[in-house]
A and B are shown apart, each in its own frame.
Chain A
Amino acid sequence: MKRNNPFLTGLALATGLLFLSPVLYSIWMSFQTAHAYYAGGVEFTAGNYLRAVAEYKFARYLLNSIIVSGLVTLLGITIATMAAFAFARFQFRGGNLLFGAAVATLMIPSHISLIPNYLTLAKAGLLDSYAGLILPSVSNGFAAFFLRQYIKGIPKVLDEAAYMDGATPLQVLWRVIVPIAKPAIFSMGLYIFITEWNNYIWPLVAVGKEDFYTLQIGLARLYRINPGEGLVDWPLVMAASTLTILPVLLGFLLVERHLVRGITMGAVK
C-alpha cells in the first residue's frame, strides 16, 4: 500500500461528503423542529422520531421489515444451501435440468410475475399477511448458483471421510459443508437481506392494511399523505427516511470492516 497523503485524504473525504450531502443533510434535518426549519433557524429535537413512532406507527413498520427481511433471508439461504449442496455433490437424473431452471431465473424479470403472484396470494387469502410478503421472495436462483460454485471448491475427501464415519447427507451438509462455506453463506445472506429490506414494488401491491406495512411502504405513504408541494413536513418525513436507511447503513459500515479484515488476513497468510 502506498503512503497516505493527508491532502488527498482530505480531498477524498470532502468529495465523498459533497456527494452524500443530500442524505447527510436529510439526517440533519430530521433532528430539527419543523418551525425552526421553515424559519431558517436551528433547533434540535427528537420530536420527529417520536411522532413517526407514536403517530405513524414506524416502530411497527420497523418490526415488520425486520421480520420480513429476516425470514426471507433465513428461508432463502437455507433452501439455496440445500439445493447448492445437492447440485454440487450429487449426480442425479434431471439434476442438470433443474439446475438450469434455477439459474435461468436470473434472467427472468420479476415484473412478469407481479400480477399472477398477486392473484395467487389473493386466492390463497394471503394478501395482508407476513406469508404474502415473504413467500414470493424466498427462492433465489443466484444464491443457489453462487453457493454451488463455492461448495464445488471444497475438497470432496472431507465429505467422504464423514460418510465413512457413518454420517448421513444432512449431517455432512450441516457439519462439514456449512462451517466451511460460512463466509459465502454470510455474504449471500447479507445480500438477500439488503435486497429484501429495500424491496418496494411487491409490498406495495401485496399490502393494504397498515399493520403489515414495511418501512418502505410506510415511508412512501407518509410522504404522499402530506397535502402537497410546499406543505410537506420535511423534518418528519426525513426522520422516517433516516429510520429506513439506518439499519442498512450500520450494516454496511460493519461489513466494510469485515471486508478489510478479510483482505488483510489473506495478505498476512
Chain B
Amino acid sequence: MLRILTPYMLVAPLIAFIAVFTYVPIFESVNLSFRHWDFLSSDMPFVGLENYRLLLASRDFWNALTVTAIFALISVPLRLGLAVVIASYLVSETLPSRLLRGALFLPSVTSAVSIAVVFSWVFSTDYGMVNSVLTWLGFGKVAWLQDPQLALWVLIFVNTWKQLGYDIVIYIAGLQAVPQELYDAAAVDGGKRFHVFRRITIPLVMPTTYFLLVISVIEAFQVFTIVNIITHGGPAGATDMLVNLLYRVGFELFDIGRGSALAVLLFIFLIVLALIKSRVIGRRVHYEA
C-alpha cells in the first residue's frame, strides 16, 4: 500500500504549489475579468464582457499594443542579427573569445532593476554618460527620456544590451553543432567570408533562429522592469507597454476587472506563441537527431 502511495507523496508538494499559484489563478483571472471590482467594495457584480469592451474601446490599450508591437518588431531582429554575427566570430574556444563572451553574457544574469537605474543615469539629460560624450564631441545635449520620439529607442537599446549575450550563447551552441567539414569544404573551394556566412552559417542555424525568435517575442511582450523604472510608461504614454498598462490598471488604479481582462488577453496571445515555440523545439530536436 505504501509503495503505491510513494510517488504521489513525492509529487504532492510540487503539484500543490503549481495548482494554487499557477492553475487556479488562470480560472480566477477569467472570473474576475467578467466582474466589476475596485478592490475596496465588498460586492463584485458580474458585468459580462463589459471589461473587455471598455478595454478594446480605450486608447490606452491600443497605444500599449502598438508600442509593444513596435518594441518587439525592432528589438527582436536587432538582437538576433547582432547575435548571429557576433556568435560567428566568438564560436572558437580561445581565450579572447571566452573573455568577450563572458563580458557580453554578464548583463543577462544581472538585476534588471540595477541595469535600469544605471541606464537612467547613462541617458539622463544633465549628467548622463551619453550626453557627456556628445558634449565632448561638440554636439548639444539630447533629452533622451523626455522626448516621446526617443524614449522607446532608449528602452530598445537597453533591452538589447541586456539580452544580447544570452542570444549569443545560444547561437554559439547552435554553431558548434554545425559540422566543421562544411566550413573546411568551403575553405577548399575558396569561399569568401561573407559568402560562407550567408550560404552556410545562416541556413544551418535556422532552427536556433526560430527558437530565439519565438522566445524573444514572448519576452518582448512581457517587458516590464526597465519600463517601470526608466520611463514609467512616459513621456505621454510613448513607452506604456502592455505589462506596464496591466500594472497601472490593476495596482495603481485598482480596477481589478479590467486589469484581469487585459491579463487574459495577454495570456491567450502568449500561450499561442508558446505553443508555436514547443512545436519549433520539437522540430529542432528532430533536426539535430
**Residues of A near any B CB (own CB < 8 A):** 1-2, 4-5, 8-9, 11-13, 15-17, 19-23, 25-26, 38, 79-80, 82-83, 85-87, 90, 92, 95, 98, 101-102, 105-109, 111-120, 135-136, 138-139, 141, 144, 169, 173, 194, 197-198, 200-201, 204-205, 215-216, 219-220, 223-224, 229-230, 232, 234, 237-238, 241, 244-245, 248-249, 252, 256
CB distance from B19 to the nearest CB of A (A): 8
A198's contact among B14, B23, B111, B228, by CB below 8 Å, is which?
A: B111
Produce 1/0 per residue, B107-121, CB < 8 A to A.
101111111011111
Would you list the 10 A-B pairs with minimal beta carbon distance, nearest first?
A: A16-B103, A139-B17, A107-B274, A12-B96, A113-B25, A116-B25, A90-B7, A86-B10, A116-B28, A83-B14
B206 within 8 A of A: no
With A111-B263, A141-B18, A201-B247 known, 5 other A-B pairs at CB within 8 A are A22-B129, A101-B23, A109-B270, A117-B21, A223-B229
Interface residues on B, range: 35 or more
Q: Which residue of A lies closest to B95 (CB)?
A: A4
A17's contact among B20, B24, B103, by CB below 8 Å, is which?
A: B103
Find out whether the CB atom of B11 lies under 8 angstroms from the CB atom of A201: no
Find out whether the CB atom of B92 lies under 8 angstroms from the CB atom of A2: yes
Q: Give the interface SS of chain B, mostly helix, strand, loop or mixed.
A: helix
Number of interchain pairs (Cβ within 8 Å): 238
Q: Which residue of A lies closest to B28 (CB)?
A: A116
Find out whether the CB atom of A256 lies under 8 angstroms from the CB atom of B114: no
Q: Which residues of A contact B23 (CB under 8 A)?
A: 101
Find out whether the CB atom of A2 lies under 8 angstroms from the CB atom of B94: yes
Find out whether the CB atom of B274 lies under 8 angstroms from the CB atom of A115: no
**Residues of B near any A CB (own CB < 8 A):** 3-4, 6-8, 10-11, 13-15, 17-18, 20-26, 28-29, 32, 92-97, 99-100, 102-104, 106-107, 109-115, 117-122, 124-127, 129, 145-146, 161, 218, 222, 224-225, 228-229, 243, 246-247, 250-251, 256, 259-260, 263-264, 266-267, 270-271, 274-275, 277-278
Q: Which residues of B contact A112 (CB under 8 A)?
A: 25-26, 29, 263-264, 266-267
Q: Which residues of B contact A169 (CB under 8 A)?
A: 3, 6, 10
Contact (A82, B10) CB under 8 Å given A11-B96, A101-B23, A241-B114: yes
Q: Which residue of B lies closest to A191 (CB)?
A: B109
Q: Complex Cα distance A236/B10, Å?
A: 48
Find out whether the CB atom of B109 lies under 8 angstroms from the CB atom of A244: no
Q: Complex Cα distance A105/B256, Å?
A: 24
Q: Give the interface SS of chain A, mostly helix, strand, loop or mixed.
A: helix
Find out whether the CB atom of A139 lies under 8 angstroms from the CB atom of B117: no
Find out whether the CB atom of B271 lies under 8 angstroms from the CB atom of A26: no
Q: Which residue of B lies closest to A198 (CB)?
A: B111
Q: Which residues of A contact B122 (CB under 8 A)?
A: 22
Q: Which residues of B contact A197 (CB under 8 A)?
A: 111
Q: Complex Cα distance A125/B18, Å?
A: 20
Find out whether the CB atom of B25 lies under 8 angstroms from the CB atom of A82: no
Q: Complex Cα distance A27/B100, Å?
A: 20
Q: Which residues of A contact B117 (CB under 8 A)?
A: 219-220, 223, 237-238, 241
Q: Which residues of B contact A194 (CB under 8 A)?
A: 109
B229's contact among A19, A105, A120, A220, by CB below 8 Å, is which?
A: A220
CB distance from B139 to the nearest CB of A (A): 19
Find out whether the CB atom of B6 lies under 8 angstroms from the CB atom of A115: no
Q: Which residues of B contact A102 (CB under 8 A)?
A: 14-15, 18
- Most chain A beta carbons < 10 A, residue from B113, B146, B218: B113
CB distance from A223 to the nearest CB of B (A): 5
Contact (A111, B266) CB under 8 Å given A12-B96, A102-B18, A198-B111: yes
